[in-house]
Structure 1
Amino acid sequence: MNNHRVLKPFNSFSIDVRARRVITAHTKTKLFKLWRQAADNATPALVLGSGSNVLFLENYVGTVLLNRIEGLTIEEHPDAWHLHVSAGEMWHDLVRTCLEQDMPGLENLALIPGCVGAAPIQNIGAYGVELRQFCNYVDVLQLVNGTLLRLNATECQFGYRDSVFKHVLRERYAIVAVGLRLAKAWQPVLTYGDLARLNPQRVTPRLIYDMVCTMRRTKIPDPIFQGNAGSFFKNPVVDALKATQLLSRYPDAPHYPQSEGRVKLAAGWLIDRCGLKGYRLGNAAVHDKQALVLVNVNNATGEDISALARYVRQQVAKRFGVWLEPEVRFIGAFGEVNAVKAIT
């Protein structure tokens, strides 16, 4: 149909798919109005930020609503800064702004792509830090009736790359703002990657920020030049027995103790050990510098990417007995679909 809109600029995988309509909303009122129009026309509607963590499997039959609600307010308290950040703000811009205003805490989360509104959905995290450590609340718009609802951190049910927004509140709710608390008593987190080599007594927030940016730029390709969604798979968390068995065979495997005796493994290391770094299937490939990243090599389709993800998942399970789960959200013709089922 001629009125279909191209979605390639609105997803970081650069998948060449279309939607019935693509409309930008700069206010909560506009977002609600557009969603109601789609509902009244009995067509699906998908609220999208920058599309940095989605994989379109096919053309979308409904309306894509681009959430571009912007704004940032800061309140200073004796012990912390309290930020109210609108969903359409870019996450990395927020991290940089906080550092420029001498409000540290988010530096480990530098260069994570996407909008602020997407951050709570995945409980974004990197280099030992997660969003939930700073999140006070999340404001959501109930798209059915246009009313606002504020969820505190407990109600958000944050988990590892997980939250209530991926389940109970996945449909008919849109995140419009996030409340963050940055404590003035700053403590560096230096547990992952090259950060572990830094001196905790001398390190500064800016040094951590610069090092995180360097590590990410070195390992993760810029989606402007090569379509990708960053880390494609979650780092698997296994029970103590499974971890002991695996580490007895692979003592050099990176591993990180979690609560209740569970152990987090490095998905990128598992994929790399399967000899898949740089592996290509059709027009999709495992990135040659970071095995956790799947890339669009030459106008790949959503099926190309999902077929590669399926193959990678099977190879890791065959060698290590560990089943990887996608971190990326899969979008079908009518909306989000179960990503694990899509590559099983």
Structure 2
Amino acid sequence: MGIEGMHAGVESTLAGGCDNSAMDVLRNVSLRSFNTLGADVQAQALVQVACEADIHALLGDATWRDVPILILGGGSNIVLTRDVPGLVLSVALRGRRLVRETEHLRIVEAAAGEPWHDFVAWTLDNGWPGLENLAGIPGTVGAAPVQNIGAYGVELQDRFDELDYIDLRTGQTGTLGAAECGFGYRQSIFRYGTWLAEGKRAGQEEPDKQGAASLRGHALITRVRFALPKVYQPVLGYADIEQRLLAAGGAEPDARTLFDWVCEIRSAKLPDPREPGLGNVGSFFKNPTVSEEQFQHIIGRHPHLVHYRLGDGTIKFAAAWMIDACGWKAQSMGPARVYARHAIVLVHPGGPAAGAEVLALARAIQASVCERFGVVLEIEPVVV
């Protein structure tokens, strides 16, 4: 169980047993409360997975052997456009602990159903900095590696150690390190693998030839471990953070102060999905990256386009700036609209057609940006 009793806040409930006789299979249930966009679509069947035994019990039940499966974490990065056939697994695995310490690192673990922001706050409560730039991101710990979440100069892969998963085809468990997860900008080997093809497990018809890559579509992440440096070094190289630093007189912030800054910056720009009428999935589009040749072609025509040079020689454009430049900020299509304070966020009051209506708005924005800048914006959330 790793290091125990060192800190009052350390919890070691990750591997605890549970009574799967209490597991309920809900039929024809609304998913409105299971997604932050508020799409009021129906799931044919839903199970809230409270422990790994629940997963194994389901996989051993012939009832669910050949049905599609949709995995839901916090529902904050998914657009549900229709009713969901088959089985929805709502991941509710809980627990967090300090696993071990090395000379330079603390290895901290959290179960997949832990709310991400609460986990970040818990690490700081125990005096373990490293995740503070990622504060305020909605969703769960298990969903975080799927899109390699990132904010204010830090990505999950910068603090990642390894994760455990269950293969939904075989019931076998496994562990993946950073290299095996294939992390990139808002992507991983899990990125497009949440939805399984109807009537079969993904990849079931073919031999497994790709190793870890074949996990796309049928891996349920159960717990994630992070490597947090013992020597605190704040990451401050982001415009909004630098402005806070300047206002504070240039004094380097401690981890808790940086955590508070990030929370304040996010709340000033981004809507709370729980606020009535502002259902959303956070950033709806990825910031597009282009080659130097493409950059020179585009910037010659649009010299004021906001951009950032990356370490690999590519250039990242600010999607929100492009959307705003096309006149979409605060504009609506039906009940779906572009958020007035940040053009990369699309909001909707919720309802049966929420996903489809937001997607229609997104497609219109993509067409406008492509026509003006010659750049295709990629949708960030998973669309079902």
Normalising by structure 2, we get a TM-score of 0.82
After superposition, the Cα gap between the structure-2 partners of 1:19 and 1:13, relative to the gap in structure 1 and judged at 3 Å, is same
Aligned to 1:178: 224
Conserved 8 A contact 2:116-2:140: yes
Does residue 51 (structure 1) correspond to residue 75 (structure 2)? The answer is: yes
- In the TM superposition, residue 102 of structure 1 has moved relative to its aligned partner by 1.4
Aligned partner of 1:295 among 347, 366, 382: 347
Select between 240-249 and 202-211 the one with higher mean Cα deviation. Answer: 240-249
Distance across 2 between alignment mates of 1:38 and 1:100:
45
Q: Greater CA radius of gyration, 1 or 2?
A: 2
**One-letter identity of the residue aligned with 1:24:** Q
> Identity across aligned pairs (percent)?
40
Aligned length: 330
Q: Verify: 1:72 aligned to 2:72, yes or no.
A: no
Which position in structure 1 is the counterpart of 2:331?
279
RMSD between aligned residues: 1.8
Aligned twin of 1:27 = 51
Q: Tell me, in whole angstroms, the C-alpha distance in 2 between the residues paired with 1:183 and 1:280.
A: 45
By how many angstroms is 1:108 displaced? Answer: 0.8
Unaligned runs of 5+ in 1: 332-344
C-alpha distance 37-269 of structure 1, shift in aligned 2 (>3 A) = farther
Among 231, 238, 242, the alignment partner of 1:192 is 238
Instruction: Tell me, yes or no, if the aligned pair for 1:31 and 1:67 is still in contact at 8 Å.
Output: no
Match of 2:169 among 131, 141, 144: 144
Contact 1:48 1:66 in 2 (8 A): yes
Q: How does 1:83-232 map to 2 (within 5 A)?
A: 83-166=108-191, 168-197=214-243, 198=245, 202-225=252-275, 226-232=278-284
- Is the contact between residue 247 and residue 253 of structure 1 (CA under 8 Å) also seen in structure 2? yes
Q: Between Structure 1 and Structure 2, which shows a larger proportion of strand residues?
A: 1
1:4 aligns to what? 28
2:308 to 250, 256, 261: 256
2:357 matched residue in structure 1:
304
Provide the C-alpha distance between the structure 2 equivalents of 1:215 and 1:308, rounded to a whole number of angstroms: 26
Aligned residues of 2:39 and 2:350 also touching (Cα < 8 A)? no
Structure 1 stretches of 4+ with a deviation exceeding 6 A read none
Whole-Å separation in 2 of the counterparts to 1:39 and 1:96: 40
Normalising by structure 1, report the TM-score. 0.91
Residue 248 (structure 1) shift: 3.6
Q: CA separation of 1:274/1:36 partners in 2, compared to 1, >3 Å: closer, same or farther?
A: farther
Q: Which amino acid aligns with 1:233?
A: F
Contact 1:38-1:63 at 8 Å conserved across structures: no
